[in-house]
Amino acid sequence: MNNISQISIFDYREIENLGDLERLKIFFENIDDNKLCEKLEKERKNGRNDYPVRTMLNLIYAMKIFGHRSVESFRRELSRNSQLRIACGLSEGKYKYCGDRRHLVPPARVFTGFLNKLKGCKEEIEEIFEELVRFMYENLEGFGEDCAVDGKYLDTYANPFQKDRCKDNRAEHDATNSCKTYEMKDGSKKKEWHYGFRAHIICDAKYGLPIKSKVTPANNSEQTELDNMLNEMSENEEEKYKIDKMKNLMGDAGYDNGKRNKRLKEEYNINPVIDIKHIWDKEEAYKEIENQPIAYNEDGEVYYIVDLNKYEKMKYLGYDKANNSLRYTRANTGRKIYRIPLETDYRIFTPIARDSKKFKTKYKMRTEVERLNGRIDRDYMFNDHFIRGQKKMELMLNLTFIVMLTIAKGHIKSKQKNIRSLVA
């Protein structure tokens, strides 16, 4: 039977309302990580197997699902939660040594060693993520057509002055400083400093699920990393379908760039729906278009020049694909059509005109990536963590996205089953 794809088949808020054990059950029923497990078992070979690879993987997943900020807090949860222990594969009958009952909960050093092993399985973990993303494209209507991009700071709470004095893993050796500047309504500027890393995330703007991500030091440019992610998707045959499916890309003013807007449209056929930075001189309110009685401002509003210092707001008629231009007419007469080529200023003029209702509607969808960032902080404790090093930060973020997508997959399959039974 063909997939039943409906926009109402998935709402992430339904997952948030589930209990932790219920989400864990859904996750275990839908995760496909056999290749990862086989690699880890192969690396272990004839080593000690007090805690099997499958059990340790289950415990790492459960630590993310139950929202623990540290291994120690999760171990305390395991000590008092017998249902969680059983679900993850820890049972009293398995752990005996010379007739003595072993402690059921793995020591902290076992978790540390296993996480270090997982850092060497980047390819297998990314393969799990890509399979889950592909499932979303195949089972959610319109998935990947409207996308949002954002850079999220992942602050580290290590002492930045310790890395030169402390050479072991207690210090943070990969993090960098970064400053983000906000323009206030009164014209003043506010600076916000961060020390740590930055996650560059492209997500679906309808369903709030991740499509692609990258972790870098905090001072890496959002614009540069967006270009890198677009290049990776366009050049990688296994990811190219993401670029082909994408129609609109929403981003805040941090991604404002005329050259990228041009590239998005001409190379990828993607409409940039990106907020604009106000960089014009304050005294320069309008710019005139050569050989036309038309002026425009930095917000993309277009005016007909009636007389000296007299401007009349024009009516937007839509995008002319054949001429790669925006069509306008005088609001009062509506007879003559004026075309403004996008090449006039690719930063100001985009295929979806900035002063149109459609642009405003699409741009509002960008808030979905902010909700995703909120879930990362609130549900998976990235706002209060003990993670050290870029590789481990990338590992934990990838595991977080795998957890989110796998639970979403199980929820979607359950909905599809119910719909099919009704149809039958």
Each residue's pLDDT expressed in tens, for the chain with a length of 424 residues: 444 444 456 777 778 778 899 999 999 999 999 999 999 999 887 767 778 999 999 999 999 999 998 999 999 999 999 999 999 998 765 544 444 344 689 999 999 999 999 999 999 999 999 999 999 999 999 999 999 999 999 998 887 777 666 766 667 888 899 988 877 767 677 888 999 999 999 999 999 999 999 999 999 999 999 999 999 999 999 999 999 999 999 999 999 999 999 999 999 999 999 999 988 988 888 999 988 999 999 999 999 998 888 899 999 999 999 999 999 999 877 689 999 999 999 999 999 999 999 999 999 999 999 999 999 999 998 988 888 889 999 999 999 999 999 999 999 998 876 644 444 3
CA gap 160, 132 in Å, rounded = 37
Which DSSP category does 255 fall into?
A: G
Helix (H) or strand (E) segment spanning residue 333: none
Do 213 and 401 meet the contact criterion of CB atoms below 8 Å apart?
yes
pLDDT at position 9? 65
pLDDT score of 5: 44
- Please state whether beta strands 337-341 and 100-101 pair in parallel, antiparallel, or not at all (unpaired): unpaired
Q: Would you state the structure tokens that stand for residue 296, as one six-digit string?
A: 């425009």
Q: What is the model's pLDDT at position 157?
A: 82
Which residues lie closer than 8 Å to 126 by C-beta, 6 or more apart?
A: 398
238, 261 Cβ separation under 8 angstroms: no
Classify burial at 145, counting beta carbons within 10 Å of its beta carbon; exposed 0-12, middle 13-18, buried 19 or more: middle
Q: Which residues contact 34 (CB under 8 A, 6 or more apart)?
A: none
Nearest-angstrom CA–CA distance, 232 and 235? 5
What's residue 7's pLDDT? 40
The ranges assigned to domains in the chain are: 7-121+411-423, 144-252+366-390, 287-356
Three-state SS at 49:
coil
Residue 218, SS3 per DSSP: coil
Report pTM: 0.89
Which three-class secondary structure state does DSSP give residue 308?
coil
Beta carbons within 8 Å of 168's beta carbon, 6+ residues apart: none
How confident is the model at residue 36, as a pLDDT? 96
- CA dist 303 and 231 (Å) reads 37
Query: What's the pLDDT score for residue 159?
Result: 77
End-to-end CA distance of the chain: 11
CB 359 within 8 A of CB 273: yes
